[in-house]
Amino acid sequence: MTDLHRLSIRELSEGLAGAKFSSRELTEHYLKRIAKLDTQVKSYVTVTAEQALAQADAADVAIKAGTATALTGVPIAHKDIFCTQGIKTTAGSKMLDNFISPYDATVVAKGKAAGLVTLGKVNMDEFAMGSTSENSFYGATANPWNLGHVPGGSSGGSAAAVAADLAPFATGTDTGGSIRQPASFCGLTGLKPSYGRVSRFGMIAYASSLDQGGPMARSAEDCAYLMNVMAGHDAKDSTSIEKDVDDYVANLNGTAIQGLRIGIPKQYFNVAGLDADVKARVEESLKKLEEMGATLVEIDLNMTEAYVPTYYLIAPAEASSNLSRYDGVRYGYRAENPVDLMDLYKRSRSEGFGAEVQRRILIGTYALSAGYYDAYYVKAQKVRRLIQQDFLKAFESVDVIAAPAAPTTAYKIGANLSPVEMYLGDIYTIAVNLAGLPAINAPVGFDKDNLPVGLQLIGNYWSESQLLSVVHQYQLATDWHTKRAAIAEENA
């Protein structure tokens, strides 16, 4: 079959179970596409072909033996932030270019236990800091919809791989939008779960109180399949919640949109820099949801102006602490011929980290230093609480909150925005992480240059099933999620 990459996760699952094709055939098909097309997209940092074929053969045995799960034999790409035993795990950094993880992240281990086949590790902004994936030591990944544009970030490799049909779905992580914004830029569905729903064990830390892993795929249904694998309590992550996991696939159907109260924050649609096409597509999608039975309710989110300054204190503060472990001594990059210990530390870190990571370590260290701690870090934590309360108040009168995922569509590669301009592009995503809420991006059309636009829906805590179900119902009634970039149409 030459069109295996067209199939949804459900179709792959059914096709494998019904012996229409084998996992080996499917895996070879994807590996062939990667070999042919990824020279243009540059989504993979590492392709694990040999291991993938071995996993595929094992999956085929399990399917024949009747011991398969719904996902046995289905290929996946992992963001290169998830530790993979025996395989290079770089977090997009020169610092970890030589790092072979001795263990699997819980998300990866769960994927293996479910029979998923790992195609490889995909590109990202260094240590997940960025919005374009250009901050990677391995170079920029291209947006499949227009190879001169970025796929977004930091999970840009995950998004580009799926949008170019170089993986059926992928894992991502979202500290301040890194699942939702690249999903938006690449026309995909991506879910950032509630903080604590997915284990962070073995997921290289950026800002621990904000980081959360989640699925990136072509549809809400495909995301639901991956959530069924990713979600759940993990004794190895004390911040993961001991709460029953939904069956995200079984919960997709129903009447999620009928009577749904969607909050429209006044402040969000008056943000300077909100692109006219993005605004128009988002408003059209909301109109469609209204036709399908939802009610639109205007709400206030008064803390909107505080989002960017608060996030860009807390995230760098936590990053400066998390990244102190890369000292050139224990693992990772080590500078050559150090004259003394200080020289080893200094040169390993200034040679091993890129500019954006160093910038954030400096900001974070400053914000946490004696004399400034109360003025910056403690104050930011107080504002963070107010931002959370703002959302909780809104959820007293609405079920979900609608927003664009990003104020613009995908930037040009090399657009070279200033750090502050770049940070302002995170306005719609970062508050969700500060509050620990779940949110989903769904594709809802294109701008005048044929670049995808995304609608973001923010839910209350643990409402992942509801968000997936709303988007699934929307996707049953529309076809934006079925559109493919030209490069995805190419056969290998």
Cβ closest to ligand GLN, residue 73 vs residue 151: 151
> Omega of the bond prior to 158 within 30 degrees of 0, cis?
no
List the one residue out of 108, 219, 90 whose CA is nearest residue 154.
90
CA 367, CA 130: separation in Å to the nearest integer? 20
Binding mask 177-196 for ligand GLN (x = CB under 6 A): xx------------------
Please tell me the distance from the alpha carbon of residue 220 to that of residue 291, in angstroms, as a whole number. 20
Q: Judged by CB under 6 A, which stretch of 56-64, 101-109, 123-131, 265-273 contacts ligand GLN?
A: 123-131
Question: Total residues contacting ligand GLN (rule CB under 6 A)?
Answer: 13
Active site annotation includes 178: yes
Single out the residue of 292, 282, 324, 322 nearest to residue 428, CA to CA.
282
Smallest separation (angstroms) from ligand GLN to the CB of 247? 27
The verdict on 144 binding ligand GLN (CB under 6 A) reads no
Q: Does 129 bind ligand GLN (CB under 6 A)?
A: yes
Q: How far is CA 88 from CA 85, 122, 272, 317, in A?
A: 8, 11, 42, 27
CB nearer to ligand GLN: give 211 or 221.
Answer: 211
Strand partners, 296: 262
Binding segment toward ligand GLN, per CB under 6 A, in 90-98, 172-180, 225-233, 480-488 = 172-180
Q: How far is the CB of 323 from ligand GLN (least distance, A)?
A: 13
Nearest-approach distance from CB 5 to ligand GLN, in angstroms: 27
Angle at 431 between CA 379 and CA 278, to 5 degrees: 140
Residue found by looking up tokens 């290998």 in the block: 492
Enter the tokens of residue 442: 């769904």
Q: Which is nearer to ligand GLN, 243 or 359 (CB)?
A: 359
Of the residues 154, 184, 189, 320, which one makes contact with ligand GLN according to CB under 6 A:
154
Q: What are phi and psi of 171, to 5 degrees?
A: -90, 155
Nearer to ligand GLN by Cβ, of 174 and 399: the residue is 174
CA distances to 32, 153, 215 from 158, rounded to whole Å, are 18, 9, 9
Q: How far is the CB of 144 from ligand GLN (least distance, A)?
A: 20
175 binds ligand GLN (CB under 6 A): yes
| Whole-angstrom distance, CA of residue 69 vs CA of residue 13 | 9
Where does this chain touch ligand GLN (CB under 6 A) — which range of 23-31, 124-132, 279-287, 478-486? 124-132
Task: Return the range that interacts with ligand GLN (CB under 6 A); candidates 129-137, 286-294, 376-384, 412-420.
Answer: 129-137
Pull the structure tokens for residue 164: 């170019």
| Footprint of ligand GLN (CB under 6 A) | 128-131, 154, 174-178, 206, 315, 426
